[in-house]
Structure 1
Amino acid sequence: MAADLKIELFIKSSDDGESIGNCPFSQRLFMILWLKRAAFTINTVDVKRNPDILRDIAPASQLPFLIYNGDLKTDNNKIEEFLEEALAPPKYPKLDVRYKESRTAGANVFQKFSAYIKNSIPQKNENLQRLFLKALLDLEQYLNTPLPHEDGTHPSKRLFLDGNELTLADCNLLPKLHVVQVVCKHYRNFTITQQLTGLSTYLKNAEKHEEFMNTCPNEEEIILAYRNVATTLR
């Protein structure tokens, strides 16, 4: 790998125009680069105060995007795949999962959460909440089920989705779960981990890692972002 490697990540800024904004996709790539231990520059972009910046740097693109040695890369999934290939062992750690099931664990949680939190019709709330809780329970079951390399006679004691190390799967899921947790508590007085011990432990394990905690937007930023999206049912 060349010594003059230059990586720039452009992400959404917060409402103040400087801090990290509410964007799980931005946090996903931020976490990956941090876990890779690669030297990179993080740029928070305020499109409200400087609407032309995207046109000037990445025409027809949306945040987040990456510039790698001068090459613009704009697709989140393709950026993840590219970084895993370009920043490879032995110099950089491998972040891909060991088990393919870990990639899709919790994949529908954010979708069900969005339908639930945006609903303004009281008659639909019960069913949407049920579907949301089902998605959380499916994730809970996956976290508690031993992986093939674990002792199958006891609940899993692993720290994260695919084992005891953060992987690409966690970089995708944890930012979304953080948003879910903050928004549900504020707008619906609903704590998602109250009865879900596996999920609660998973989030607590993540909170011990700077790669997750230091890439999270402030809770106030998430609450503000959902101010005109979430509904509070009475």
Structure 2
Amino acid sequence: MTTKQKEMTDESPKIELFVKASVDGESVGNCPFSQRLFMILWLKGVNFTLTTVDMKRAPDVLKALAPGSQPPFLLYNDDVKTDTNKIEEFLEEKLAPPEFPKLCCRYKESNNAGEDIFRNFSGYIKNPFPVKNEGLEKKFLSTLVKLNMYLETPLPYELDQNPNATVSSRCFLDGDTLALADCNLLPKLNIIKVVCKQYRDFSIPTELKGLTRYLDNAYKQDQFRYTCPKDSEIRTAYKAVAKYLK
């Protein structure tokens, strides 16, 4: 287990985020839930400590803090939180304006955009039967197309600015700044990008311009780019479950 301090300027409660460690036992491991919370805390601009946990050698202190739990979990002023969704809600409530930015989406549709992608990706990538690959790939691709349509459709605020707009130019799901929905979806899309290329030689089609724009903008953000696990870590994590087709 290693501990890293994220330097921030804002005064804040004592916060420690425990996340899954990589195979080296020190770096950030492959866990979209861990990355989601890491991004939220970084976007909030709060002082926090990031602790990576090697579950093969989990120290007794962690067993005492969250017995039976898997990372991520949060220590907030000695109060332990273990459910990712509840941690997100808790942080949005506790780290609120005016001191901290609000990260919830303005439009409820943004929260659900891409919600079925990871499930269809899993079915696609874990399938060992070549005869089923085409059908599963089409089903998976349809979920990407659906997300692309949402990203290309102007949101109400864009239409208020330009009633004649037919294609969105926003950077992210809900606007031009990262929101909670992005913290949930982007870590999964990063895994998808790496794993599909490795095991299916499949890349997100450039014809999906909204999705391509979304990912390009996301990788320019420190809060996303620097919280991603290494590609090699993702490939290693999926080695036992992803199936090469012969």
* Cα distance in 1 for residues equivalent to 2:209 and 2:36: 24
Aligned 1:90-101 pairs, distance under 5 A: 90-101=98-109
The match for 2:80 is 72
String of CA shifts for 1:41-91, please: whole Å, max 9, x gaps: 000000113375642321121210001000000000000000000000000
- Structure 1 residues 60 and 140: CA distance shift in structure 2, 3 A: same
Pair 1:228 & 2:236 matched: no
Which of 155, 158, 169 is the aligned partner of 1:157?
169
* Cα distance in 1 for residues equivalent to 2:245 and 2:62: 37
Amino acid at match of 1:142: Y
Amino acid at match of 1:24: P
String of CA shifts for 1:150-190, please: whole Å, max 9, x gaps: 13532000000000000000000000000000000111111
* Cα distance in 2 for residues equivalent to 1:108 and 1:225: 21
Task: List runs of 5+ in structure 1 lacking aligned partners.
Answer: none
Pair 1:216 & 2:228 matched: yes
Q: TM-score, normalised by structure 2?
A: 0.91
Which of 178, 181, 185 is the aligned partner of 1:169?
181
Q: TM-score, normalised by structure 1?
A: 0.96
* Cα distance in 1 for residues equivalent to 2:190 and 2:57: 27
* Cα distance in 2 for residues equivalent to 1:150 and 1:57: 46
Query: Is 1:54–1:62's contact at 8 Å kept on the other side of the alignment?
Result: no
State the shift of 1:126 in Å.
1.6
* Cα distance in 1 for residues equivalent to 2:156 and 2:83: 32
Task: List runs of 5+ in structure 2 lacking aligned partners.
Answer: 1-9
Q: Is the partner of 2:63 in helix, strand or coil?
A: helix
State the shift of 1:135 in Å.
0.5
The match for 1:129 is 137
The match for 1:87 is 95
Which of 44, 53, 56 is the aligned partner of 1:36?
44
Pair 1:141 & 2:174 matched: no
* Cα distance in 1 for residues equivalent to 2:112 and 2:41: 21
State the shift of 1:133 in Å.
0.5
Q: Is the partner of 2:213 in helix, strand or coil?
A: helix
* Cα distance in 2 for residues equivalent to 1:146 and 1:44: 39
Amino acid at match of 1:83: L
Amino acid at match of 1:162: D
* Cα distance in 2 for residues equivalent to 1:132 and 1:171: 21
Query: Is 1:106–1:138's contact at 8 Å kept on the other side of the alignment?
Result: yes
Backbone CA RMSD of aligned residues: 1.5
* Cα distance in 1 for residues equivalent to 2:55 and 2:29: 11
* Cα distance in 1 for residues equivalent to 2:61 and 2:206: 43
Which of 189, 194, 199 is the aligned partner of 1:187?
199
Query: Is 2:12–2:46's contact at 8 Å kept on the other side of the alignment?
Result: no
Query: Is 2:11–2:46's contact at 8 Å kept on the other side of the alignment?
Result: no
String of CA shifts for 1:125-167, please: whole Å, max 9, x gaps: 1221111001100000000000011135320000000000000
Which of 119, 137, 151 is the aligned partner of 2:127?
119
Aligned residues with identical type, % of pairs: 60
* Cα distance in 2 for residues equivalent to 1:177 and 1:233: 22
Which of 11, 20, 24 is the aligned partner of 2:19?
11
